[in-house]
Structure 1
Amino acid sequence: MWIWRISSVFIAAYPVLNILLTVAGNTWNHYSDITGTVLAIFLLVALVVYPICRLFLLILSFTTLRSLPPSAFVDVNWSNYIPHL
């Protein structure tokens, strides 16, 4: 459960953080060299962590199919919900 949550948050937050850091780096680039270093470190870490998080989500989606509750196999009576069927 925690692996799924952490991976999902990272995958959702990474593009936003990347855009914010890129804009900040372009804005503050003439002030110091530290922003370029921070951007490079963030990019290198993200290039390693992002595929791992995607792989975790893919693996977890298939492993949860092994232990479905019995209610997942109950047939839906569609005629109750859509009367013309």
Structure 2
Amino acid sequence: MHCIAWSSEFPSSTELILWRVSCVAMIVIPGMVTMMLGFGLIGDASERYFGWLIILASIIVGLLILCAWLYIAGRIATLVIALTTLRSLPPAAFTNVDWTTFFPHI
């Protein structure tokens, strides 16, 4: 949903880059978490590789914690950027719309 504004105008190039990075993070991180949890469940079925499973589980837990913080930061960044871009709207945002030409009245 947030990627709809991918090619929109932003007040600065920094906000544009931050918006795009946040949108990509909000798409990629849930998929990564799902894959990591899936690999963790597959790994639990095997008893032969118990030593490797402990290492794999600690890596997965570390990545999940990191991903959670990145996801939260991405969400906060998109909210802040969405509200701060209201300070410099394009001139077309201030034109009056004649809604009666779009929706017929009875």
In the alignment, the residues of structure 2 paired with residue 48 and residue 80 of structure 1 have an alpha-carbon distance, to the nearest angstrom, of 48
Aligned residues: 85
SS of the residue corresponding to residue 5 of structure 1 reads helix
- Counterpart in the other structure of 1:12: 27
In the alignment, the residues of structure 2 paired with residue 11 and residue 54 of structure 1 have an alpha-carbon distance, to the nearest angstrom, of 7
* Backbone CA RMSD of aligned residues: 1.5
1:65 counterpart = 2:86: yes
TM-score normalized with structure 2 length = 0.71
* Structure 2: gaps (5+ residues): 1-15
In the alignment, the residues of structure 1 paired with residue 73 and residue 32 of structure 2 have an alpha-carbon distance, to the nearest angstrom, of 18
In the alignment, the residues of structure 1 paired with residue 79 and residue 98 of structure 2 have an alpha-carbon distance, to the nearest angstrom, of 31
Q: What is the percent sequence identity of the aligned residues? A: 31
TM-score normalized with structure 1 length = 0.86
Moved segments of 4+, more than 6 Å: none
- Counterpart in the other structure of 2:7: none
In the alignment, the residues of structure 2 paired with residue 14 and residue 47 of structure 1 have an alpha-carbon distance, to the nearest angstrom, of 8
Higher deviation after alignment, 60-69 or 49-58: 49-58
Structure 1 position 59, deviation (Å)? 0.8
* Structure 1: gaps (5+ residues): none
